[in-house]
Amino acid sequence: MLTGCTNLEFDHESIKVPFGKYLEFENPDECDEKYRNDVESGVENRGNHTDKTQGIILPLKLQINNLLENNVTAYLYEYTYPKHGRHTDDLSYIMGVHAFEKDENEVHLEQVYKDMVINFIKLGEPGMGFEKSEQNESTYFDIYWNETTGERPRMRKYFEKEVTDYWLKEMIEFDQKVTETKKKLKQISLKTVPFIEKPLEQNDEAGTLIGVSLIAISIFLIGCIFGRYCCLRRRNLYIRLDGNNYENAGNF
């Protein structure tokens, strides 16, 4: 794999990116809140990049890490010449798109791109001292040219270190701590109200007895009320007997 980016990409666009969801953290809202607070307080300067540029850098680094972890040779570059360093500007060197008038340095940078791509296609490696990326030191090929100072493209260490360390180390640790804290709080909550977990298991027999008693009492009370108010007029019953002595019949 031969892949890379420019160092300015979308630094001219200040669109906010929901990184918590974008990078699939377990606690995206908390991670986003921490990031915004860190930026506002100056704790995190984002490597002087906008959210959208970080949105290019981070998946690129994750892709390289994944390839290297699976023993796939990967070559990572970053175009750092500032004059035309925005997103896709460097495609002018190999595809002719986004054409611009080249200065004395960009003429040489164009040749670097052509040689890099052609060598990789034909030989499987870019050449020009462009070595495969190494994960621990995050090595990459810095594509830069300055005729005045004599600076040329070369290998460097720690690709976009501030951005990658913040998101792929510090924020991952923060996300894990938030998850652990939530688990502990949940356990404490369950311990303080244990009856929520098993409200009847420990008192099944007592609960059944109470239930039956309540039903019996309810039936008894309903019967009393019904008898008192519905049968009031029939409390005194008389039996009339045929014969002359019916007036002496008992009063029931």
Average pLDDT along the chain: 85
Nearest 5°: the CA angle 75, 81, 82 is: 130
Give the pLDDT confidence score for residue 241 in this predicted structure: 45
**pLDDT, tens digit (0-9, with 9 covering 90-100), for 172-187:** 999 999 999 999 988 8
pLDDT band at 44 (very low <50, low <70, confident <90, very high): confident
Q: Which helix (H) or strand (E) holds 7?
A: none
**Stronger pLDDT, 207 or 42, i.e. the higher one:** 42
Q: What is the DSSP string of 87-133?
A: TTGGGGGTT-TT-----HHHHHHHHHHHHHHHHHHHHSS-BTTBPPP
**pLDDT, tens digit (0-9, with 9 covering 90-100), for 140-181:** 999 999 999 999 999 999 999 999 999 999 999 999 999 999
pLDDT exceeds cutoff 50 at 246: no
Residue-range domain boundaries for the chain = 2-181
Half-sphere exposure of 180 (CA within 13 A, CB side): 6
Give the pLDDT confidence score for residue 228 in this predicted structure: 60
**Stronger pLDDT, 98 or 171, i.e. the higher one:** 171
**Stronger pLDDT, 252 or 42, i.e. the higher one:** 42
Nearest 5°: the CA angle 147, 148, 154 is: 55
- Tokens 């892709």 — which residue? 63
